[in-house]
Amino acid sequence: MVLLEFSMSPLNKGDSVSQYVARSIDIIDRSGLDYRLHAMGTIIEGEIDEVLAVLKACLEAMAADCDRITCSAKLDYRAGYSGRLQTKVDSVEQKLGRRVKTLGSASSEQDS
């Protein structure tokens, strides 16, 4: 299993690209892989073939109506590990000995 984080934007569609990002998130959400959306991209977890297939699907969907696309990505592989979308964050808080502003905690403060 790997974690793949990526962000993908058209270069020629103006200041706001959230409608294009929303289309990518729709593809990711329907892929069945576990994922988390945040302000600078989306992290998905799966086998290497699975995550690269989602990346490719997002690029092809965006290329249907965008002539220039930039995408930055990061892969994190750790032999024998999975479920790391949350455990990597827990491990840092545990080493620190206190809770910090993870996307979870900050959002639930706002929701309450």
Determine which residue in the list 1, 54, 82, 110 makes contact with its own copies, applying CB under 8 A. 110
Q: Is 26 in the site for its own copies (CB under 8 A)?
A: yes
- Residue 86 within binding range of its own copies, rule CB under 8 A: yes
| 103 counts as binding its own copies under rule CB under 8 A | yes
When asked if residue 52 is in the footprint of its own copies (CB under 8 A), the reply is yes
Out of 27, 60, 61, 82, the only residue in the binding site for its own copies (CB under 8 A) is 60
Q: Establish if 76 lies at the interface with its own copies (CB under 8 A).
A: yes
In which element (H, E) is residue 26 found?
helix 18-30
Q: Which of 27, 31, 37, 61 binds its own copies (CB under 8 A)?
A: 37
30-39 contacts at long range (C-beta below 8 A, 24 or more positions apart): 31/57, 34/85, 35/85, 36/85, 36/103, 38/103
Say if CB 86 and CB 19 are below 8 A apart: no
- By the 8 A CB rule, do 5 and 38 touch? no
